[in-house]
């Protein structure tokens, strides 16, 4: 190896090349050095690319944060009602609005908690009796806004609910809404999933002047969640689903159900109490000939 170095230092380029050719160990060392240099250059290039990518991602994140700061969060708005709480005439129509971009509004009638299984708002709601409407907006990413509430009182003797009038073909169309009334209630402190609660139809279903399904026709709901109130102040919760109505040999399948949460506040939690007389709105899931 010393002779190789001396030959390269004192000799010509040709001598140096010849010396490399005569010394395989020197050739291998040179190749290893070249590979190390190439690997180092590649590592530097990779680091530069990673740095550029990180810088781009940081710039994008800063831009997104700036956009979010100037754009309202979708679905986090509080719904507003076209008619303020208070006394109203029977038949008053209440519209619900929300300023959140792309927000969907779900609402409940009768003091229930609005959830994603509640009625989706599609148009004004008619008031025919003392009514509590609660609504929430749901937007992008299923973000939920605060619940808004309105309480309406209708003068005594003017709260008759109009019948549902069917066409002459006697078909109850899918998506038709029916007003139901709780007949036997339940408490989250004693109820269990699978228990039944009593319901009844809260309006007549007619074709012309002929009554096909009479107001008061019974049906049942099934409790699907029952959580008792906790001592630490957590309120009880009850959730039920509406069952079908059977009439004239036909079974009318209904969608719908409600959730009720007990009052919250200081001290021990309170149970949710579903009471007789509470209003439930359900809708038909398929066309049914009556």
Q: Are residues 197 and 231 in the same domain?
A: yes
Region 14-41 average pLDDT: 64
Q: What confidence score (pLDDT) does residue 85 get? A: 96
Query: What is the average pLDDT score of the chain?
Result: 81
What CA–CA distance (Å, rounded) separates 108 from 279?
10
Q: Taking residues 114-118, what's their average pLDDT?
A: 88
DSSP bridge partners of 132: 151
Evaluate whether residue 247 is within a structural domain.
Answer: yes
Indicate the pLDDT class of residue 258, thresholds 50, 70 and 90: very high
Label residue 16 by pLDDT band (50, 70, 90).
low
- What's the rounded mean pLDDT across residues 4-28? 53
Residue 167 confidence (pLDDT): 93
- Residue 146 phi, psi (nearest 5): -70, 155
Q: Check whether residue 109 and residue 175 sit in a common domain.
A: no
Q: Which of these three, 105, 132, 154, is where a domain ends?
A: 154
Q: Is the pLDDT of residue 156 over 80?
A: no
Tokens (6 digits) for 40: 């180092």
List the one residue out of 221, 218, 184, 178 whose CA is nearest residue 200.
Answer: 218
DSSP-derived pairing of the beta strands 279-284 and 196-201: unpaired
Tokens of 46: 């990779």
Q: Is residue 201 part of a domain?
A: yes
Percent of the chain with pLDDT over 70: 74
Contact 94, 128 (CB under 8 A): no
Kindly state whether residues 86 and 202 are assigned to the same domain: no
Residues 92 and 140 in one domain: yes
Task: Report if residue 75 sits inside a domain.
Answer: no
Does residue 159 form part of some domain?
Answer: no
Q: Given a cut of 80, is residue 117 above it in pLDDT?
A: yes
- pLDDT attached to residue 84: 96
184-230 residue pLDDT tens:
999 999 999 999 999 999 999 999 999 999 999 999 999 999 999 98
Q: Tell me if 203 sits within 8 A of 161, measured CB to CB.
A: yes
List pLDDT tens digits, range 179-188: 999 999 999 9
Total domains in the chain come to: 3
What span, in angstroms and rounded, lies between the C-alpha atoms of 219 and 183? 9
Task: Indicate which CATH number applies to the domain containing 140.
Answer: 2.60.40
Lowest mean pLDDT among 2-11, 13-22, 33-42, 118-127: 2-11
Domain of 66 in residue numbering reads as 2-70
Cβ–Cβ under 8 Å, residues 223 and 193: yes
Rounded Cα–Cα distance for residues 222 and 165 (Å): 28
Which of 46, 70, 94 is the last residue in one of the domains?
70
Which of 154, 180, 210 marks a domain boundary?
154
Element (H, E) at 56: helix 24-70
Percent of residues, the chain, with pLDDT higher than 90: 51
Q: What is the pLDDT, as a whole number, of residue 64? A: 46
CATH of the domain at 222: 2.40.128
């Amino acid at each position: 190896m010393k002779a190789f170095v001396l030959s390269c230092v004192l000799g010509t380029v040709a001598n140096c090349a010849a010396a490399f050719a005569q010394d395989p160990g020197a050739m291998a060392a040179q190749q290893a050095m070249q590979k190390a240099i190439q690997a180092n250059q590649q590592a530097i290039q990779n680091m530069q690319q990673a740095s550029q990518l990180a810088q781009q991602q940081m710039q994008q994140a800063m831009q997104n944060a700036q956009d979010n700061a100037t754009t309202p969060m979708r679905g986090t708005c509080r719904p507003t009602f076209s008619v303020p709480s208070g006394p109203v005439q029977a038949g008053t129509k209440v519209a619900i609005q929300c300023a959140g971009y792309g927000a969907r509004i779900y609402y409940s009638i009768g003091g229930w908690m609005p959830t994603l299984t509640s009625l989706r708002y599609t148009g004004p709601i008619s008031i025919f009796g003392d009514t509590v409407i609660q609504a929430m907006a749901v937007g992008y990413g299923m973000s939920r806004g605060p619940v808004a509430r309105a309480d309406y009182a209708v003068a005594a003797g003017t709260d008759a609910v109009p019948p549902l009038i069917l066409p002459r073909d006697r078909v109850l169309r899918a998506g038709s809404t029916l007003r139901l009334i709780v007949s036997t209630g339940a408490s989250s402190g004693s109820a269990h999933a699978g228990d039944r609660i009593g319901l009844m139809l809260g309006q007549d279903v007619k074709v012309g002047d002929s009554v096909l399904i009479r107001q008061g026709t019974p049906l049942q709901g099934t409790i699907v969640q029952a959580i008792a109130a906790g001592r630490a102040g957590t309120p009880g919760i009850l959730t039920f689903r509406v069952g079908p109505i059977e009439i004239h040999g036909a079974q009318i399948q209904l969608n719908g159900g409600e959730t009720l949460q007990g009052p919250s506040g200081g001290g021990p939690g309170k149970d949710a109490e579903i009471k007789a007389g509470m209003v439930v709105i359900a809708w038909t899931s398929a066309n049914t000939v009556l």
